[in-house]
């Protein structure tokens, strides 16, 4: 019997992170052909967060100083 691989844990993105894909049906599907991959911060309204770091799906998660869970 194999043990589950916990090395890749799903992290909840910051609630302030935004993407145009959030505003149409089918949001968060892996094979979404309409996703641009462009993200912005709802607090700064720019492509960088309050900490000056870029906004990204992988980067805007718990552990970042400006993260909102």
pLDDT in tens, 30-67: 555 556 778 999 999 999 999 999 999 889 999 999 99
56 is a domain residue: yes
31 is a domain residue: no
Model pTM score: 0.69
Q: Point out which residues pair with 19 in neighbouring strands.
A: 39
5 is a domain residue: no
DSSP assignment of 3-17, as one string?
Answer: PP--SS---PPPTTE
Of 10-19, 23-32, 58-67, the range with the lowest mean pLDDT is: 23-32
Q: Which domain holds residue 51?
A: 12-26+36-69
Question: What gap in Å lies between CA 58 and CA 39, rounded to an integer?
Answer: 11
Question: Structurally, how many domains does the chain consist of?
Answer: 1
3 is a domain residue: no
Per-residue pLDDT, averaged over 7-32, amounts to: 73
2 is a domain residue: no
63 is a domain residue: yes
């Amino acid at each position: 019997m194999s043990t589950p691989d916990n090395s890749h844990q799903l992290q909840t993105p910051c609630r302030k992170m935004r993407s145009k894909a959030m505003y149409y049906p089918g949001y968060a599907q892996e094979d979404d052909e309409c996703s641009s991959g462009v993200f912005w911060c709802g607090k700064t309204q720019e492509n960088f967060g309050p900490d000056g770091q870029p906004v990204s799906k992988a980067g805007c998660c718990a552990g970042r100083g400006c993260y909102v869970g």
